[in-house]
Amino acid sequence: MAELLRMGEKTGGASPTHHEATADDLAEVVEAFAAAAARLQHAGCDGIEVHAAHGYLISTFLSPHWNRRTDDYGTTVEGRTRLLRQVVSAIRVRCGTDFVIIVRLDGQEFGVDGGITLDLAVQHAVSAERAGADAIHVSAIGAPDAGVSFTDGPIPYRPVQYRELFGAVRSAVDVPVIAVGRISPAAAEEVLAAGDADFIAMGRQLLADPQLAKRLMDGRPDLVRPCINCFVCVAENFWDESPVCAVNARLGRPDAPKVRAADVPRRIAVVGGGPAGLEAARVAASRGHDVTIFERADHLGGTARFSAVTTPINATLIDYLAAAVGELGVNVGLGSEASADEIEAASFDAVVVATGAHRGRPPIPGAELDHVLTGDDLRMMLTGGNGAALRGLSTGQRFAVKAAQRLHLTTPERVRGLSKRWMPLGDNIVIVGGGLVGVEIAEFLAQRGRHVTVLEQGPDLGVEMAHPRRWRTLHQAREDNVTFVTGASVDVIDEKAVRYTVDDAAAVVAADHVVIANEVHPGAALADELAKRGLEVHVIGDAAAVTYIQGAIRTGFDVGASL
């Protein structure tokens, strides 16, 4: 109803298609809301939520920025809340005292000059309560003319981003307050215990795991599939597509394979313990197969574990998948780099290869210099270095890195903290490649005091990201003084500089270290060898095609469900 009656929006027609709402227009709006509520009550609903937020009709009346009226519906808080109060009162009269009316309000309009402030939002909540609202649902909205503001509101990027907003409303009204805004189950418990809200609303988390409530009731929060705040689901809304989810391969995919008990249990080998391999193992084991994971590292997670250094929430996905395969009795062999001979000798019925991508060096003069790091080199240096990764470091730096490894200080969480004090990287860092990986590494390094320049050969940055996430990440990186250069062709890497060309003009930038972030290719050599020996082989994740977490989970799910 709110969308149909979004009368405050102008359209782009050749002739006027809008006018200032008259008293008769507004009476029609009030009646439409009341009639809609009555229909829902007749259909068996116990209540409704009046959407008075997010730039829809009622919210434009509440905002001093948008509401320029000089009659009884503008000028003051009393005037600007009049339409909301009339809608709530009309629903109450039509539906009676036992019908629940929730009002959703903006706690703030971020980036909107003269918009709704927290003080005004509290007054709006009090007005709604006095009009008869049974609960207040507090959200927020960002400026409509700035893409990055979308991740201020209504889809926040920071955990529990609206706590100050709903907490202030909670202190001002006597009816229950509903909190929203990237609230995890653990954070929800803390918010409720602190008395900052009475109920928690979740959106993206329920897309990630529709069984969330049941798992929490069963006392298994470790088996809740977490939302990783990647905005993949939200991005689909911009194109009027059904939402899909990076971590829930079923969402928005009616043609996804059904997970049914296997007709004949089989022995399955999964080579690689990253997201793709773990998801394949989870699904296959849930169907009754006997699954063994071979992981060459001493931990699960693959490159997603390293990504948790720059994107901490990715660690929650690995934790969930590890708990899920453990619950299902999957055999996990860490420090086990399975060879083709070993796998063939073990007589598995099928092998799933999830060995990830290969990160190499481009054919650029100087790319083999010691201070030039591939993505794998950087990962090994920070979370478990070897000789190749440490070759460009001084003796003191090598000693410090090795000491950190021996003291178990190379987990993603530890690296995030310690790297704010020291990292074995110089002050000036050039990143070759401005895709997802390059942009996230740039932001991470800039926040640790490095002067970072990203050279991207193409015209766009972060193209693998869902665009709300891309807006926010690029905005933050620029706030951290990262320099982005698009259309840049790298010519030579010297010991202290990178020389490149943009629009036929030569340029140079200082570089103590260079990170190659664009030479990523599928790596399925093991699969090719196993196939030659006549084994049933399935290749998934980045070993098949570089599609990051979303592709890893989807291919892992599909293969696990089809074995």
Q: Which residue has the tokens 């993206």?
A: 204
What six digits make up the tokens of 498?
């990178």
Q: What angle do CA 418, 420, 425 make, to 5 degrees?
A: 90
The reply to whether omega before 154 is within 30° of 0 (cis) is yes
Mean pLDDT of 208-215: 97
**Backbone φ and ψ of 291, nearest 5°:** -115, 135
Single out the residue of 269, 297, 299 nearest to residue 284, CA to CA.
269
Q: What is the DSSP string of 448-496?
A: TT-EEEEEESSS-S-TTS-HHHHHHHHHHHHHTT-EEEESEEEEEE-SS
C-alpha to C-alpha distance for 355 and 352, rounded to whole angstroms:
9
How high is the pLDDT of residue 240?
Answer: 73
Cβ burial, residue 328 (10 Å; 0-12/13-18/19+): middle
- Contact in structure between 540 and 556 (CB atoms under 8 Å): yes
Cβ burial, residue 97 (10 Å; 0-12/13-18/19+): exposed
| Fold of the domain spanning 23-202 | TIM Barrel (3.20.20)
499 C-beta neighbours (distance < 10 Å), count: 17
| CATH 3.40.50.720 domain residues, the chain | 267-358+521-562
If you average pLDDT over every residue of the chain, what do you get? 92
pLDDT tens for residues 518-563?
988 888 899 999 999 999 999 999 999 989 999 999 999 999 999 9
**Backbone φ and ψ of 363, nearest 5°:** -80, 65
Q: Is the pLDDT of residue 407 over 80?
A: no
How high is the pLDDT of residue 191?
Answer: 98
What six digits make up the tokens of 276?
């793709």
- State how far the alpha carbon of 252 is from the alpha carbons of 240, 518, 552, in Å: 12, 30, 17
User: Which class is 267-358+521-562 in CATH?
Assistant: alpha beta
- State how far the alpha carbon of 128 is from the alpha carbons of 25, 122, 158, 162, 199, in Å: 21, 10, 28, 19, 18
| CATH 3.20.20.70 domain residues, the chain | 23-202
pLDDT tens for residues 474-524?
999 999 999 999 999 999 999 999 999 999 999 999 999 999 999 888 888
For 255-267, b/e burial (b = at least 16 CB within 10 A) is eeeeeeeeeeebe
CA atoms within a 13 Å half-sphere pointing along the CA-CB vector of 295: 21
- Contact in structure between 511 and 480 (CB atoms under 8 Å): no
| CATH 3.50.50.60 domain residues, the chain | 361-520
361-520 belongs to CATH 2.40.50.140: no
Angle between helix 82-95 and 118-131 (nearest 10): 30
β-pairing, 513-516 with 483-486? unpaired
What six digits make up the tokens of 127?
């007005």
Residue of higher predicted confidence among 173 and 376: 173
CA 47 to chain centre: 32
pLDDT tens for residues 418-463?
888 888 899 999 999 999 999 999 999 999 999 999 999 999 999 9
Q: Can you list the positions of beta strands (E) in 221-307?
A: 267-271, 290-295
> Which residues are paired to 137 by β-bridges?
104, 178
- Contact in structure between 122 and 129 (CB atoms under 8 Å): no
What six digits make up the tokens of 448?
């640790």
Q: Which residue has the tokens 């790319």?
A: 367
- Contact in structure between 226 and 527 (CB atoms under 8 Å): no
pLDDT tens for residues 1-53?
344 444 445 555 666 667 899 999 999 999 999 999 999 999 999 999 999 99
How high is the pLDDT of residue 10?
Answer: 54
Sign of the four-CA dihedral 173, 79, 12, 459 = negative
Q: What is the DSSP string of 51-85?
A: EE-TTSHHHHHH-TTT----STTSSSHHHHTHHHH
How high is the pLDDT of residue 385?
Answer: 56
Q: What angle do CA 464, 424, 400 make, to 5 degrees?
A: 130
Task: Outline where 63-151 has alpha helix (H).
Answer: 77-80, 82-95, 118-131
Single out the residue of 217, 216, 245, 252 nearest to residue 230, CA to CA.
245
How high is the pLDDT of residue 7?
Answer: 43
pLDDT band of residue 146 (cuts 50, 70, 90) is confident
Task: Outline where 262-383 has alpha helix (H).
Answer: 275-286, 302-310, 314-327, 340-345, 375-383
479 C-beta neighbours (distance < 10 Å), count: 12
C-alpha to C-alpha distance for 307 and 240, rounded to whole angstroms:
30
Please state, for a pLDDT cut of 70, what percent of the chain lies above it.
92
When mean pLDDT is compared across 233-247, 302-316, 443-457, 471-485, the lowest value belongs to 233-247
How high is the pLDDT of residue 11?
Answer: 54
Rg (CA), the chain: 27
How high is the pLDDT of residue 6?
Answer: 44
- Contact in structure between 278 and 559 (CB atoms under 8 Å): no
pLDDT band of residue 408 (cuts 50, 70, 90) is low
What six digits make up the tokens of 273?
């313990």
Residues in the chain, overall count: 563
When mean pLDDT is compared across 135-144, 236-245, 347-356, the lowest value belongs to 236-245
Instruction: Tell me if the pTM is above 0.75.
Output: yes
Q: Is the pLDDT of residue 301 over 80?
A: yes
Sheet with 267-271, side-by-side order of all strands: 331-334, 290-295, 267-271, 350-353, 537-539
How high is the pLDDT of residue 526?
Answer: 93
C-alpha to C-alpha distance for 85 and 133, rounded to whole angstroms:
9
